[in-house]
Structure 1
């Protein structure tokens, strides 16, 4: 069968989290760099498609190609390790420590940021012909997105901060489902379909993804977005990263783990 039962693929999730803790620094950084770069390309691709066709839905339908590519190459996103690595710690896998988990998260975040920034500068160069023009409609659109997702939240104060936090929770609930979806099938087609659905949902709904934002907001600033790096960090990246941790782990990782690995005794009749 190309489909694995939950008891099988949830065990694979824990195994995967364990393996990431012991991965070398070099491999972790390279895989994270490539993941951040590919996801950034997918994001600007989806935005471009949505603008040129006038269909945000079509952009969302096509965005998951980036996630599928990076997953099949075994590259790592911070949003994925937010869910997988804590499961190995909770399962008390030998040698897995809180410090090891934080090391993995830090290296993956650094690599993702490097990849996302690289693509941000490359695409900014492309759209502006080496910074000789203003970047056109794409630049205006992305600058507006950056402003709306920083100053827009800031204008609502605490409620705005909580809104971005909850959007981030919802995002990584879906992204983590995509990561899990890739584990339920042994065929490339099955993996792609299972990943496609939740990733399309999060993108179309405008949920907040910390790695997409590592590309989107620096690119927006380069393109003339009227906000600061501090605005971006306080009103987007920090609450988004925190929400991504909570959403992926609580709604996907722990729910699957505690009902398919740590099962309770059957109820007596």
Structure 2
């Protein structure tokens, strides 16, 4: 059978966190760049589905294709690592410094990949600026303003709202990353990953890497959003909320309920190679 038991899943989570925390800067940048660009492409696919059908759920059904590609190719998605690397630190298989280095360089890679894709996408769908009524471009502009100015207009309540939406988002996203470990078959991995990602996207929760595309792309396309608004009212609180949701609700709770024997196994298996 291809199903993998939860205790072994925890072993794989810790092992993955260990490997990620020891990658070179070059690999973190390349894998982060590719993941940012691929997730951005999946985002415009989802937005195309929404603007063509008028149904947000259709966009949510197709969006997980980007996440699946990222996981199956072994790329780096910082939001998924938020649940994995801290467990490697807890299990003493990685250092805090290695974990933070992963976060930093992967985020840099995500930003570059997302912005490069945003520029290429604009050229592609507007024929280099000659088509001015492209629906997805208009959708991105409106969404970028909603994700920043919409929260700032609410003051402290807006800051709380964006943080909570980020927590809920990455609770699901990290479950998607973990569900990939529950099957040894490619088909099983795809189906298992698809479900939590659909849940977060369909409900409009806040994902840091998606926003690394949506908001700078919106600014590039003409949204009335400043760089300060992007980071203060979205990117920073969303990164913090994504981290909290991933490490607390997925990483720590699974570690507590499945953890001690799994940790011992990982330490034994990796003692000669890490």
Aligned length: 261
| Partner Cα distance (2:203, 2:260) in 1 | 33
How far does the alpha carbon of each residue in 1:87-121 deviate from its partner, in whole angstroms, 9 at most, with x for none? 1111112xx22111111111111111111111111
User: Which residue of the partner structure matches residue 126 of structure 2?
Assistant: 128
- Is 1:12 the counterpart of 2:12? The answer is yes
Q: Which has the higher helix share?
A: 2
TM normalised by structure 1 equals: 0.95
TM normalised by structure 2 equals: 0.93
User: Which residue of the partner structure matches residue 241 of structure 1?
Assistant: 239
The counterpart of 1:255, out of the listed 244, 253, 256, is 253
Gapped regions of structure 2 (runs ≥ 5): 262-274
Higher mean alpha-carbon deviation, 235-244 vs 48-57, is at 48-57
The counterpart of 1:101, out of the listed 79, 94, 99, is 99
Gapped regions of structure 1 (runs ≥ 5): 264-269
Q: Does the 8 A contact of 1:35 with 1:77 survive in 2?
A: yes
User: Which residue of the partner structure matches residue 200 of structure 1?
Assistant: 198
User: Which residue of the partner structure matches residue 209 of structure 2?
Assistant: 211
How far does the alpha carbon of each residue in 1:169-210 deviate from its partner, in whole angstroms, 9 at most, with x for none? 000000000000000000111101110001001001000000
User: Which residue of the partner structure matches residue 90 of structure 1?
Assistant: 90
User: Which residue of the partner structure matches residue 28 of structure 1?
Assistant: 28
Shift of 1:255: 0.6
Aligned-pair Cα RMSD in Å: 1.1
How far does the alpha carbon of each residue in 1:118-164 deviate from its partner, in whole angstroms, 9 at most, with x for none? 11111111222212343522222111111111111001101100100
| Partner Cα distance (1:55, 1:88) in 2 | 40
How far does the alpha carbon of each residue in 1:239-265 deviate from its partner, in whole angstroms, 9 at most, with x for none? 0000000001100011111110137xx
